Amino acid sequence: MPVYQAPVQDTLFVLNDVLGWQRHDNLSGFSDAAPDVVEAILNEAGRFASDVFLPLNQVGDREGCRRAEDGSVATPTGFREAYGRFREAGWGSLSADSAYGGQGLPHTLAAAVNEFLSSANMAFAMYPGLTRGAIAAIESHGSPEQKALYLPKMVDGVWTGTMNLTEPHAGTDLGLLRTKAVPQGDGTYAITGQKIFISAGEHDLSENIVHLVLARIEGAPEGVKGISLFIVPKFVPDAAGNAGARNAVSCGSLEEKMGIHGNATCVMNYDGATGWLIGEADKGLRAMFTMMNEARLGVGVQGLAISEIAYQNAVAYARDRLQGRALSGTKHGTKAADPIIVHPDVRRMLMTIRAINEAGRALILWTALQGDLSHRSPDDKAREGGDDWMGLLTPVIKGVLTDKGFENAVLAQQVYGGHGYVAEWGMEQFVRDARIAQIYEGANGIQALDLVGRKLALNNGRAIQAFFKEVGAFCEEHRADEAMAPFTKTLKKGLNDLQAATLWLMGNAMGKPDNAGAASNDYMHLFGLVALGYMWGRMAKIAQAKLAAGANGDTSFLENKLVTARFFMERLMPETSAHLARISTGADTMMALDADAF
C-alpha cells in the first residue's frame, strides 16, 4: 500500500517564510492562526490524511461506488465512517464563515489542508470539495433565507453539495444546455432535464445533497444569456429546516471511468424537481463561475496532491529497490546491487517531480493568500491586486499543475518499472486519478483560452502588467547578488520569453484570433514556468538568507531547497524558449488542413 506523510515542514516554510504569514495577522481569520496554531493544524491534518483517508484510497479504487435498483448509491467500504470522522474533526469548515458555523480561518490554510487530504484520497476529498464550491456560490449569490437554510448544514457537512452543469450535448459550450425550469407560481420552479458527469451526485455520506443546477427558464433567451442557477435539494427542507420530502431528482446511472472510482460520477435525472432560483434569472453563469473559480484552484491542488504522494512513493521505492550498480562505481558493495536512487535517470525523474511540487505548493499558497487578501485586506490596492492575481493565475494553476501532476504521476510510476503497472503497488491508480484533473472543471485547453483570450486583456492588461512588474523587480533587485545570479538570470530569461510571447499575441492575435488559440497551450505553460520559477527565486533567496543568518538546525532543508531550485532552473526553465518558438509560428500551418483531410 502506498505511504504518505504530509509535507508539513515544506508547507510551513512557504507559509511562514515565503508568504510572511505573520505580516498578515491584522486580517480577519489570520489573527486566529498564529504560527503555532497553524503548525498544530497542519500536523493534525497530516495525521488525519494518513490515518483515515489513505487506508481507503485503494479500497475506493477497487470497489468503486455502487448504484442500487432504487437509484441509491453506496460509497466504498469505510467511506461513511471516515466521512463522519472528517465532519466531527471539522476539516470541512476550516475557512467557512463563522456566521454559518465555520471556523473562519484563512482560505490559504484550507488550501494547504486540502492538499494533504487530496494526496491521501483524491476521490474521497472530492465530496467535501464540491460542497465547498456549492457553499461559495450560495454565499455569494443566495438570498439571506437561502443562506440561513442551507449554509449551516453544508458547512457542518451533514449536507453536501454538487455542481450540475454538463449535459450530453453541452459540456464546454453551456449555451447549448436544455434543462428547463418552469415557474410554478409559488416562487419555485419545476426543473426537468438530464445532467451528466455529476461528481458526488448521489451517495450515502450525507443526509441531504444540495444540487446547484444550471437550467433555462421557459422563454429565456437562447445561448448563455438565458441560463439561470437553481438550488435543487435531494430532500426538500421541511419547516424546521431538516431534510423533508424526496425531490424528483435521481441518479440514473454511474459512469464507469478511468479513475477516481471512489467518487460517484452520476447521470442525474431531473423530472420536474422543485428548484429555487439562486441569484438573478438568466444570470446563472456568473453565479456558476463563483463555484468554478473555487473549484479550479481546488483542481490545481489535486494536481499537486497526486504528484506529491506519487513522488513520496517513488522515492521510497528508489531507495529500497536494488538493481544494477551506480555508473560512478559501486555504492553499496555489501548488497547484491545498489538502490536505484543512485542512477541519474531515476534522479532526473524524482528531481523533476520535486522541483514542480515544491514550487507548485508555493504558487498555490501564494495565490490563495492573494485570494484572502482580495476579500479581507482593508487596503483597496491590496484587494484589487489580490483579485487580479487570483484571476490571472487560476487558469495557470489549474492547467499547468494538473498537466504536470499527471506527467509527474507517470514519471513516479516509471520509477517502479513493471511494478508500477501492477495494481497492488498503487502507482497506476495515481496516474488514472490524476488524469481527470486535466479534464474536468474546464479542460485544460479551456483554461489556456481563458488565460489568453480573457484574463490577459482584462482591465487593459492590468493583472499581467502587474505580474511582469513584480517578477521583473525581483530579478532586478537581486541582479548584483552573485549567489542569486543562477536563479535570477534564468528567471529573467523566462520572463523575457513570456513578455515576448505576450507582445507577439498583442501584435498578431487581435486581428486573427486563431493565432491566440494556436498559442494558448504553449502560452499557459510558458506562464506556468515563469510563475513557478518566480517561486523558486523567492524560495532560493529566503533559503540563502536563512543560511547566512545561521539557521538553527535546519540547514539541510535549506540547502536542499537551493539544489532543487538550481535543478528547476537548469532542467525545466529551458522549455520557455521552445514555447516561445512554437507560439511565434502562428496558426497558419495548424489550421491549414481541411477538416476531412484528417
Residues 400-459 touching its own copies, rule: CB under 8 A, are: 406, 410, 413-414, 417-418, 420-424, 428, 431-432, 435-436, 438-440, 443-445, 448-449, 453
Residue 222 among the catalytic residues: no
Closer Cβ to its own copies, 147 or 579, answer by number: 579
Taking contact as CB under 8 A, which single stretch among the options 41-49, 162-170, 207-215, 243-251 is the one that binds its own copies? 162-170
Nearest partner of 502 among 447, 576, 452, 572, judged by Cα = 452
Say how many Å lie between the first and final Cα of the chain, rounded. 44
Phi, psi (deg, nearest 5) at residue 179: -55, 130
Q: Closest approach of Cβ 498 to its own copies, in Å? A: 16
Q: Which of 303, 339, 360, 426 binds its own copies (CB under 8 A)?
A: 339
Task: Give SS3 for 396.
Answer: helix
Q: Which of 132, 147, 343, 546 binds its own copies (CB under 8 A)?
A: 343
Q: Which of 47, 87, 283, 347 binds its own copies (CB under 8 A)?
A: 347
In b/e form, how buried is each residue of 557-595, taking b as 16+ CB within 10 angstroms? ebeebbebbbbbbeebbebbeebbebbeebbeeeeeeee
Do the Cβ atoms of 319 and 343 come closer than 8 Å?
A: no
Closer Cβ to its own copies, 27 or 495, answer by number: 495
Q: Which amino acid is at 207?
A: E
Q: Closest approach of Cβ 402 to its own copies, in Å? A: 11
Size of the site for its own copies (CB under 8 A): 97
Q: Under rule CB under 8 A, which residues in 185-204 are in contact with its own copies?
A: 196-197
Q: Closest approach of Cβ 154 to its own copies, in Å? A: 25
Q: Interface with its own copies includes 582 (CB under 8 A)? A: yes
Q: Interface with its own copies includes 598 (CB under 8 A)? A: yes
Q: Under rule CB under 8 A, which residues in 528-557 are in contact with its own copies?
A: 556
Of 139, 424, 441, 482, which is the active-site residue? 441
| CA–CA distance, 14 with 367 (Å, rounded to integer) | 12
Q: Interface with its own copies includes 595 (CB under 8 A)? A: yes
Q: Longest Cα pair distance anywhere in the chain, in angstroms?
A: 83
CA 214 to mean position of chain CA atoms: 22
Give every CB contact of residue 75 below 8 A, 6+ residues apart in sequence: 60, 65, 83, 203, 204, 205, 262, 264
Closer Cβ to its own copies, 248 or 337, answer by number: 337
Q: Closest approach of Cβ 83 to its own copies, in Å? A: 24
Half-sphere exposure at residue 378, Cβ-oriented, CA atoms within 13 angstroms: 5
Q: Closest approach of Cβ 265 to its own copies, in Å? A: 8
Taking contact as CB under 8 A, which single stretch among the options 130-138, 282-290, 456-464, 566-574 is the one that binds its own copies? 566-574
Q: Closest approach of Cβ 473 to its own copies, in Å? A: 26
Task: Give SS3 for 471.
Answer: helix
Q: Under rule CB under 8 A, which residues in 243-282 are in contact with its own copies?
A: 255-259
Q: Which of 323, 465, 496, 499 binds its own copies (CB under 8 A)?
A: 323
Q: Interface with its own copies includes 566 (CB under 8 A)? A: yes
Q: Closest approach of Cβ 211 to its own copies, in Å? A: 18
- DSSP annotation of 14 reads I
| CA–CA distance, 498 with 8 (Å, rounded to integer) | 33
Query: What are the Cα distances from residue 100, in Å, to 156, 186, 187, 307?
Result: 8, 27, 25, 34
Q: Interface with its own copies includes 518 (CB under 8 A)? A: yes
One DSSP character per residue, 482-546 reads GGGHHHHHHHHHHHHHHHHHHHHHHHHTSS-HHHHHHHHHHHHHHHHHHHHHHHHHHHHHHHHHH
CA 593 to mean position of chain CA atoms: 36
Closer Cβ to its own copies, 77 or 585, answer by number: 585
Per this entry, what is the length of the chain?
A: 598
Q: Interface with its own copies includes 507 (CB under 8 A)? A: no
Binding characters for its own copies, 462-501, by CB under 8 A (x = yes): ----------------------------------------
Q: Interface with its own copies includes 560 (CB under 8 A)? A: yes
Q: Interface with its own copies includes 346 (CB under 8 A)? A: yes
Closer Cβ to its own copies, 29 or 420, answer by number: 420
Catalytic residue numbers read: 441
